[in-house]
Structure 1
Amino acid sequence: MGGEPVRARGVPASRVTSGGYGHRVDASIAYACLPVDVEVGEQVEVGVSGMWVPAVVAVEPLYGPEYLRVRTPPR
């Protein structure tokens, strides 16, 4: 939804700016601006409904270049 807290290495790091379900990647996606020392692949936690949910920092784009889960581009 947005506004949920994000913590990295057990300390508050940011808040979610937007989020939702990514049908093409079959996973939930949350966007947040994280400190520069938080690396791609690092596990963080997002506060959702009073619980801390594990998340992994990913680099965009969130789809495979092979278009396995994305519609085939027009020819």
Structure 2
Amino acid sequence: MNLSLPFWLLLALIGLFATVTVGQSPCDASTRIRCNIHCRSYNKLPLCDDNECACEDKPTKAPKPPVEPPTKPPKTPEES
């Protein structure tokens, strides 16, 4: 059985995971907690990157349009 292809696929996945992990620099735990408390007091979403806190507006859901009951067609003189 040729294990060359699965080996290279596994190596590529590990490289991709390492790139994504290193590319993100999350905040320290204490900074993240302070950011959460600060932003939630304004009812916003906390975003913490590179030890800096930013608050973002929460996405709003569009209200559902009211459902209208089905209407019956008007009666014609022949049906009366």
Task: Tell me which interval the TM-score lies in, with the shorter structure as reference length.
Answer: under 0.3
Higher relative contact order (CA 8 A, sep 6+): 1
Normalized per residue, which structure has more strand? 1
TM-score, normalization: structure 1? Answer: 0.25
Structure number with greater Rg is 2
TM-score normalised per structure 2? 0.24
Bigger share in helix: 2
